[in-house]
Chains A and B, each alone.
Chain A
Amino acid sequence: MKVIEKTGRSVEEAVESALNELNAKREDVEIEILEEPSRGIFGILSKPARVKVYLKPDLEDIAFRFISKILTAMKVNVSIDLKRKDNQLYINLFGPNLGLLIGKRGQTLDALQYLVSLVVNKHSKDYIRVIIDGEGYRKRREKTLERLASKLAKKAKLTGKKIVLEPMPPHERRIIHTALQKDPKVYTHSEGEEPFRKVIISLK
């Protein structure tokens, strides 16, 4: 992260000169006031304002460049569409080699998403949630998981036994929990340690 310290007669003036030097806009930086200016007495003992200005890294640019480098090295021809909404970064991939990038049950997509999230958050103070999708794969998977959830809930009610699902990553477990939250007869919770944590459906 690029950072500079500046002084000025007022905080405003110090910030302004820092922005000039960084060639940045106010929304691209974070400002820390180190010292408020003091006028002193008759102009003596007066102190200038001192500020520290941090240039925030462009996270979208970092994410985009990281993914395109990976895709080029993998020799796949895929387009990247990237959108930021508050602290969420949505990345959509589309192209002919997508099956390869999604992998079995989305495991390659999940791995890619995890790596991009690590790199983005290395450069960010606030946590940024990174979501990578490939041609609507995650939406389709969500539908599949919802169907699976209602099917297994039915089975639990029929047999009266609890049902243990196969290990799933957190976002997939969340889909199961949400899908069955409103069912008055069953109750869901997760057991085990990541990455083998699994959802359990039991009767209330």
Chain B
Amino acid sequence: MVELVEIIAKALVDNPEEVVVNQVEGEQSVILELRVSPDDMGKVIGKQGRIAKAIRTVVKAAAAKEGKRVVVEIIQ
């Protein structure tokens, strides 16, 4: 799941080397923390969060297959 978020984020941003994804195990769900360069925040969030929503939709589909609940958080 970490890898999936990394692949998507790295393809969208201008500074792929600054993309970091951390997995944090929560009580019922897995949290994936996505960090990108401050200049690239817009590239992973988008207008009205449209890009962030698309990333979450794809990750959710992958997680559903494994019967997990995954939350993608974009961290400043």
The answer to whether A115 and B55 touch (CB under 8 A), given A66-B11, A70-B4, A195-B48, is: yes
A111 to B72, CA, bound (A): 15
Please state if A115 and B65 are interface contacts (CB–CB under 8 Å).
no
Chain A residue total in the interface (Cβ 8 A): 24
Please state if B12 and A74 are interface contacts (CB–CB under 8 Å).
no
Q: Is A24 an interface residue (CB 8 A)?
A: no
Q: Which of the 9-residue segments A1-9, A11-19, A99-107, A182-190 touches chain B?
A: A99-107
Chain B residue total in the interface (Cβ 8 A): 19
Q: Is A194 an interface residue (CB 8 A)?
A: yes
Q: Is A108 an interface residue (CB 8 A)?
A: yes
Residues in A63-111 with C-beta less than 8 Å from chain B? 66, 69-70, 73-76, 97, 100-101, 103, 107-108, 110-111
Please state if A70 and B8 are interface contacts (CB–CB under 8 Å).
yes
A103 to B2, CA, bound (A): 21
A101 to B51, CA, bound (A): 17
The answer to whether A103 and B61 touch (CB under 8 A), given A70-B4, A111-B53, A115-B55, is: yes
Please state if A114 and B62 are interface contacts (CB–CB under 8 Å).
no
A195 to B4, CA, bound (A): 24
- Chain A residue contacts of B60, Cβ below 8 A: 108
Chain B residue with the shortest CB-CB distance to A65: B11
The 8 Å CB contact of A73, one of B7, B50, B51, is B7
Binding site for A on B (CB under 8 A): 3-4, 7-8, 11-12, 48, 50-51, 53-55, 57-58, 60-62, 64-65
Other A-B pairs beyond A76-B62, A115-B55, 4, CB < 8 Å: A70-B58, A73-B4, A108-B57, A115-B54
